[in-house]
Amino acid sequence: MSAANLSNSVRSIQARFAVLGQTDFRGETTLRVEGATIKELARFCRDELGFNFLLDISGVDHFGEEPRFEVVYELYNLEQGDHLRLKISVSEDALEVPTVSDIWPTADWHEREAFDMYGIQFPGHPDLRRILMWDGYPFFPLRKDFPLAGRPSDMPDVAFSEAAPLAGGPFVTVPSTATTKDREPRSRSQE
């Protein structure tokens, strides 16, 4: 990773966009930027600075603070090996962030997960629907005000089944004095 390349990228971003804050910690750079510019900034990072891989988009709930939510973008430049983190704050009253799925296709599922777990909307997303919880589930499980014990649901019992027995299954090691390699489940399938 080239610190000089990353520094040049950060200076280019600062020259063109409003950067609200910068944190450098253990070789990682985080820029806090305005949410209204995230789409244009994302395109600039990809097209002009070479951040051609979106590693992740995640939500953060700062319950009790305003703005309550944060959306974090992890960018990577495959050619230079540079990593850049962008953060935007999102108010609970306006839980909308423009999609970047048209810039990085990998954003599709990341945005769906942030929507499903936090309720953050991504206008312009091609298929914004739940990805982990079922359609119609009225809550957002990763919000800090969601109870640890969960909430009762009207989901029919058909969705739940008994635990599958593991004893003797193809992915269970067998206790013995054999080496780890010989106890490994795939070694039994070759017999």
Residue 162 CA to residue 133 CA, distance in Å, equals: 20
Q: What band does 151 get if pLDDT is binned at 50, 70 and 90?
A: confident
Smallest CA-to-CA distance from 43 within 90, 97, 103 is with 103
The string of pLDDT tens digits covering residues 92-138 is: 999 999 999 999 999 999 999 999 999 999 999 999 999 998 888 88
Please tell me the number of Cα atoms within 13 Å of 108 on its side-chain side: 5
State mean pLDDT over 151-160: 60
Would you state the pLDDT for residue 150?
73
CB 137 within 8 A of CB 130: yes
The residue ranking higher by pLDDT, 105 or 179, is 105
Identify each DSSP E strand in 62-163 by its residue range: 69-77, 82-90
pLDDT at 158 over 50: no
The residue extents of the domains of the chain are 3-185
The string of pLDDT tens digits covering residues 29-55 is: 999 999 999 999 999 999 999 999 999
* 3-185: CATH number: 3.30.460.80
β-sheet bridge partners, residue 96: 121
Residue 43 CA to residue 101 CA, distance in Å, equals: 11
